[in-house]
Structure 1
């Protein structure tokens, strides 16, 4: 039971820090109506890059403390990224009569986010010298 409380606390603290970081990005990249939502796009793609890096480090390169992955992966990066806002913004762009922009945002985020995860994994493996095993799903 004690470990469960520690994991919940790690996720909560990490989530608060991630949400604060997302708020900071949103303040630095304000969104004008009827324009591409760059702040949300940025945090989602950056968060995906960072999760690719993190997961290689904590599962393949390091023996990490059991709270590091929930704190950083679920907490910080879960609070930093915002795919729910992404969905709301797509609906909003569509409702505002901007279907091409909505589709561009929809597809662009999906492609960029997936590419960011893969890039994070590949570059981190190369940087830390982790070999990709034959038959792995992503190598």
Structure 2
């Protein structure tokens, strides 16, 4: 079962990564700009897609667990991990975990930026 799920995530992730690459390439070709519109649009689209898929899966049992793994963890995870971050934050809010929501959001953004900067600093960039 674990290997099946790993393969589903890998397949979905590869399709999501290809979709992200093509979307960003098309958006930049359509509107070249120093602001990262491509990444922003992909992140927002990924959030919409994961929200739609999870709601459909939860509400109507429309997907088997295998399809849910393929589409959410796989495709959406490959398309943008920001969608998972947003969905997890919404889940925390829906469960009333306001403190965890604030901690997760602040820590992810601040520590993510700090870790990126430290990685670049380590290389001398």
TM-score by structure 2 length? Answer: 0.61
Residue 82 of structure 1 and its aligned partner are, at CA, apart by 5.1
What is the alpha-carbon distance in structure 1 between the residues aligned to residue 78 and residue 16 of structure 2?
A: 4
What do the CA deviations read for 1:107-137 (whole angstroms, capped 9, x no partner)? xxxxxx96xx97xxxxxxxxxxxxxxxxx92
* Residue 82 to residue 73, structure 1, CA distance change in 2 (3 Å): closer
Asked if residue 28 in structure 1 is aligned to residue 49 in structure 2, the reply is no
Question: Is the Cα–Cα contact under 8 Å of residues 18 and 79 in structure 1 kept in the other structure?
Answer: yes
Q: Cα distance, 1:32 vs. partner?
A: 4.8
Counting matched residue pairs gives 87
Please say if residues 10 and 67 of structure 1, whose CA atoms lie closer than 8 Å, have aligned partners that are also in contact. yes
Q: How does 1:91-110 map to 2 (within 5 A)?
A: none
Structure 1 stretches of 4+ with a deviation exceeding 2 A read none
Unaligned runs of 5+ in 2: 96-125
Matched, 1:76 2:33: no
TM-score (normalizing by structure 1) = 0.55
What is the RMSD computed on CA atoms of the aligned residues? 2.6
Unaligned runs of 5+ residues in structure 1 are: 84-112, 119-135
Q: Aligned residue for 2:46? A: 47
Structure with the higher helix share, 1 or 2: 2
Residue equivalent to 2:15: 17
Deviations 1:90-121 (A, max 9, x none): xxxxxxxxxxxxxxxxxxxxxxx96xx97xxx
Where does residue 105 of structure 2 map in the other structure? none
